[in-house]
Structure 1
Amino acid sequence: MGLVETKLAIIPGAGGTQRLPRVIGASLAKELIFAARIVDGKEACRLGLVNHSVEQNDTGDAAYLHALELAREINPQGPIAVKMAKLAINQGIEYLYGCVVLKVIPTKDRLEGLAAFKEKRRPNFKGE
């Protein structure tokens, strides 16, 4: 993967010049963009461009299987809380934190999560 537009005498589009520095820092982003460097999965993981890099398996679905593991880890969590956390992360914590907290507090899922924690059992979230 890489932002190689400088090879064409243009700059990365779709916010690449803004997003990449936020993820890996301005200095490293400049190096990768200016040099039009392409990195493999292991290097992308080391730089923090991706969360995981997996070796391909014989059936060609290693990335899919890893993603499925992650989905199974996320799935039992409170759906409204996950949705609001995603919104807060994507839109900026400072701006939205108060808004998303106000949407999570009155939910039945929040009460169920607290009760399950207190009772030392797995929660049964319903997205309500």
Structure 2
Amino acid sequence: MKFENLLVETQNYITQITINRPKKLNALNRETLHEIHQAFTALKTDQNTKVIILTGSGEKAFVAGADISEFADYSVEEGKNLAAKGQEEVFDFIANYNKPVIAAVNGFALGGGLELAMAAHFRTASENAKLGLPETSLGVIPGYGGTQRLPQLIGKGRAMEMIMTAKMINANQALTYGLVNHVTTPEELLNFTQKIAEKIMNNSMVAIATAIEAINANYQDGVNGFDKEIDAFGKSFGTEDFKEGTSAFLEKRKATFPNK
């Protein structure tokens, strides 16, 4: 796949998607969001992709935010449509993706950039990372899930403070808050994240996809996550991966999952 604003590379079943607008600090414009949707749509059924790592080019920024110049003159209705389309095609799409998505946060992850990182299933960060939702300093609020996902990840009080003050936090604060899982040096970030991806791939990708769905069910209105888990757990018994995993355990060998 070739894109104007993305670099997409697959090696050993790990696909790295790099947002590549370094002169704009990888800011999200409409075209970039469209390309992200295209890339994730194509990789959903790609047999050579088991885990996706999402990052930004260079060390200055993961994504420094949305491209403000594109929506500065939007009407109320246009603003609403902007958020709705972005949620459907990118942020919710990634959050509910059928393959693990890890955001490797290098440098600034602000506004839509942090919202993109939070849409991933979990995050690693380099020591120079700066994370925040500065939208209130522009007279607007986060529109790509920031007011919902940030409290889920770090708690209501901390999320309220971050959004109200529009402040940035550093990587170590993000680690303490639970916003990122690991902090590394900038040089180690991608290799470290790839090692996590390799550990994930030792397990059943069918079970992992089911677990993502069950975990997300807890955050859906009107859905009983426990019921979803029970149903998904039962269905797991009908997979070839379950047969292989249990056989390998009983035979004291390493499982070779067919991912079916």
Q: What is the TM-score of this pair, normalised by structure 1?
A: 0.88
Question: Unpaired segments of 5 or more residues in structure 2?
Answer: 1-130, 219-224
The partner residue of 1:85 within 182, 203, 211 is 211
Could you tell me the percent identity over the aligned residues? 36
Deviation of 1:86 (Å):
1.2
Name the structure with the higher strand share: 2
Letter paired with 2:134: V
Find the residue that maps to 1:39 and give its secondary structure: strand
How many aligned positions are there? 124
Pair member with larger Rg: 1
Question: Once superposed, which parts of structure 1, at least 4 consecutive aligned residues long, lie more than 3 Å away?
Answer: none
Deviation of 1:98 (Å):
3.1
The partner residue of 2:176 within 46, 53, 72 is 46
Does 1:115 pair with 2:247?
yes
Residue equivalent to 2:230: 98
Give the structure, 1 or 2, with the largest relative contact order (CA under 8 Å, sep 6 or more): 1
The partner residue of 2:190 within 56, 64, 88 is 64
Assess, with a 3 A threshold, how the Cα gap between structure 1 residues 123 and 45 changes in structure 2: closer, same or farther. same
Deviation of 1:32 (Å):
0.9
Find the residue that maps to 1:56 and give its secondary structure: coil
Name the structure with the higher helix share: 1
User: Distance in 1 between the 2:171 and 2:189 partners?
Assistant: 11
Residue equivalent to 2:98: none
Let me know the Cα RMSD of the aligned residues: 1.4
Q: What is the TM-score of this pair, normalised by structure 2?
A: 0.45
Cα deviation code 1:84-126 (max 9, x no counterpart):
0111112323352133223311011101111111121111100
Residue equivalent to 2:199: 73
Find the residue that maps to 1:109 and give its secondary structure: helix
Residue equivalent to 2:134: 4
User: Distance in 2 between the 1:98 and 1:69 partners?
Assistant: 31
Assess, with a 3 A threshold, how the Cα gap between structure 1 residues 95 and 33 changes in structure 2: closer, same or farther. farther
Letter paired with 2:136: T
